[in-house]
Amino acid sequence: MPAVTYVSADGAREQVELAVGTTLKDGALENGIDGIVAECGGNAMCATCHVYVDEAWIERLPERSEVEDELLESTASERTAASRLSCQIKVSDELEGLVVQLPEEQE
Amino acid sequence: MSATITSDAPVSRLDPFSERFLNDPYPPHRELRDAGPVVRLERYGIWAMARHEQVHAALNDPETFRSAAGVGLADFTKEKPFRPPSLLLEADPPEHSRARRTITGVLSPKRVRSLREAFEREAHALVERVVDQGRFDAVDEFAEAFPTKVFPDAVGVPDKGRENLMAYGNMVFNAFGPQNEIFRESAKGQDEVREWIAEMCLRENLRDGGLGADIYEHAPRHEMGPDEAALLVRSLLSAGVDTTVHGLGNAIYCFATHPDQWAAVHADPSRARAAFEEVVRFESPVQTFFRTTTRAVEVEGVTLPEGEKVLLFLAAANRDPRHWEEPDRFDVERRASGHVGFGSGIHACVGQMLARLEADVLIGALARRVEAIELDGEPELKLNNTLRGLASLPVRVHPASA
Ligand code: HEM
Ligand code: FES
């Protein structure tokens, strides 16, 4: 199972192994990692599952859909080139070693 | 042929649109969940799913479970819809996608957040009013008073005639069921209501800068003309009022009947938003929606033929013990995320952030002022083929000592 690291807003790192096909949002919630609200339950409606992917990974992730791109305009913390919605990214073998940073604010 | 393929399916004689069922849906919901992952409802010749896993899966498989043949009992491929179909609710991709992009552009979480201040002013005034009264009807004077003011304000609908909004929503949601007495009663004398709604959907009647006018502005970006924009405004007016009113009424009912849970919200009003999520799970304002199969599909060993109506019990899924711990317990500290009270997948409620904002602001304001809420008479249900909510809810509130 690919290992993914979540880095909290205050810098704490947590590495977890996630089953292929799990979303990064579910991976965090199922492992009790704070910092993702996911109010809409993964339906691309709320933008409270915002994460920043580690620089090295920006180009390696599948591209944002138009819906994700538009919704990222609504994040509570600033949007950057590294911004993604964690409910829209599914874990795959290619993502082994992925590091994502959680934002200060989600709501 | 179909008789042989479907012979393994459990069969139920329950009528989900009978007064008996609607009055107390939870025991029959359990019966349907326990009967199997998919159940034949003999009376209407349709299928039902009541477990979380299958309901969630069907909502997320629009290629197999389509909406364009209607999300009510009527099959639009065989019967004429009672109104021109919704471009959102009663549509499939690719048409649905264009309409959806238009409306999500307008109702972005950012835009919805910008409404907070105006909502807070209204909520504050309303809470002061009911606290002064001490005893009041939490439906009429509270759960209905708030959304029927702030929602049309946000959409940009003029003041005159707003009482039509509730009547229209009630009829629309009844029309997803059979043409029973409940539906007929709500459809009586509705010509004027429908005319008013149609007028309010026209650009010239919508305030500049409101959500309705914004729909007209966004529509051309997704190749939608003014007639289509009008139908999208109609979607907001149909789906955005009764649902929220019932959600707020059900919330006050849950709090009045679970004083410890209200105490927790009162102690920390920032819990209001999560508490509302639990209300939507526990007393789901929208109980059911239909889909129609686009092909023969196997569900846990039962084959549903093509073109069949499938009734998805959102409210039953929200209390499925296969998914939830102690589902029949109302617990505001529960992580209710994952419920299907706002649907799921491509048709997931586009107004959910707006509904949450209304609830957050109103319940939050009440929590800051009121220490205890108690029933002050028997609540009365408002029967509807699709919605669950109250017609009246007499309560007494005790203000917190300042
Ligand atoms: C607590 C309040 C609400 C509840 C429980 C609720 C529930 C739902 C549900 C269950 C669906 C899914 C329909 C399906 O899958 O076929 C839905 C869709 C929809 N809702 Fe809501 N809703 C609420 C408030 C609102 C508000 C405030 C608005 C308008 C701003 C709204 C507008 C819509 C629209 C337009 C759709 C159709 C979306 C589509 O088919 O793509 N709803 N709602
Ligand atoms: S969970 Fe709501 S957008 Fe990702």
Q: Give the pLDDT confidence score for residue B402 in this predicted structure.
A: 67
pLDDT at B3 > cutoff 50: no
- What's the pLDDT score for residue B61? 98
Distance (angstroms) between ligand 2 centre and the Cα of B39 equals 32
What pLDDT is recorded for position B391?
A: 98
Query: Residue A68: CB within 6 Å of ligand 2?
Result: no
Instruction: Provide, as residue numbers in chain B, all residues whose Cβ is less than 8 Å from the Cβ of A105.
Output: none
- The interface predicted TM-score of the complex, written ipTM, equals 0.93
pLDDT score at B258: 98
Q: How far does B357 lie from chain A, in Å, by closest CA?
A: 11
Q: Is the CB of A37 under 6 A from ligand 2?
A: no
Ligand 2 near A76 CB (within 6 A) = no
CA distance B186 to B172: 9
User: Quick one: which ligand is closest to B68's CA?
Assistant: 1
pLDDT tens by residue, B305-355: 999 999 999 999 999 999 999 999 999 999 998 999 999 999 999 999 999
Closest Cα to atom 42 of ligand 1: B351
Query: CA of B289, closest CA in chain A: separation in Å?
Result: 18
What pLDDT shows up at residue B401? 84
**Where residue A57 sits, what CATH number does that domain have?**
3.10.20.30
Q: What is the pLDDT of residue B201?
A: 98
Q: What letter represents residue B296's amino acid?
A: A
Q: What is the pLDDT of residue B4?
A: 45
For B282, other C-beta atoms within 10 Å of its C-beta total 25
A107 inside domain: no
Mean pLDDT over all residues of chain A? 96
Q: Is the peptide bond before B147 cis (omega within 30 degrees of 0)?
A: no
- B25-47: per-residue pLDDT in tens? 999 999 999 999 999 999 999 99
Instruction: Work out the average pLDDT over B109-138.
Output: 98
CATH number at residue B47: 1.10.630.10
pLDDT digits 0-9 by tens, B249-262 = 999 999 999 999 99
pLDDT band at A107 (very low <50, low <70, confident <90, very high): confident
At residue B8, the pLDDT reads 81
Determine the Cα–Cα distance for residues B148 and B82; give it in Å rounded to an integer: 25
Structural domain includes residue A106? no
What is residue B2's predicted lDDT score, i.e. its pLDDT? Answer: 44
Q: Testing the interface with B: which of A45, A49, A86, A106 to mutate, by most B Cβ within 10 A?
A: A45
Per cent of chain A over pLDDT 70 is 100
- How remote is the CA of residue B318 from the centroid of ligand 2, in Å? 19
> Tens digit of pLDDT for each residue in A48-78?
999 999 999 999 999 999 999 999 999 999 9
Report percent pLDDT > 90 for chain A: 99
- Domain extent, residue B384, equals 3-399
Contact B348 A66 (CB under 8 A): no
The closest ligand to the CA of A67 turns out to be: 2
Q: What is the CA radius of gyration of chain A?
A: 12
Q: Nearest by CB to A73, which of B110, B337, B348? A: B110
Prediction pTM value: 0.96
| Amino acid B189: pLDDT | 87
- Ligand 2 centroid to residue A68 C-alpha, Å: 9
Residue A71 to residue B229: CA distance in whole angstroms: 21
Share of chain B above pLDDT 70, in %: 98
Chain A closest-CA separation from residue B271 CA (Å): 13
Dihedral sign for Cα B40, B42, B44, B50, please.
negative
Q: What is the pLDDT of residue B1?
A: 41
CA-CA distance, B113 to A67, in Å (whole number)? 19
Q: Give me the domain span that covers residue A84.
A: 3-101
Interface test with A, best of B56, B108, B276 (most A CBs within 10 A): B108
- Residue B32 CA to residue B40 CA, distance in Å, equals 10
Token readout for B159 is 């003041």
Percentage with pLDDT > 90 across chain B: 97
Quote the pLDDT of residue B241: 97
**Domains held by chain B: number:** 1
Residue with tokens 């009113």: B245
Report pLDDT digits (tens) over B70-111.
999 999 999 999 889 999 999 999 999 999 999 999 999 999
Task: Tell whether ligand 2 has an atom less than 6 A from the beta carbon of residue A20.
Answer: no
The whole-number pLDDT of residue B7 equals 59
> Which of A22, A26, A30, A39 to mutate against chain B (most B CBs within 10 Å)?
A39
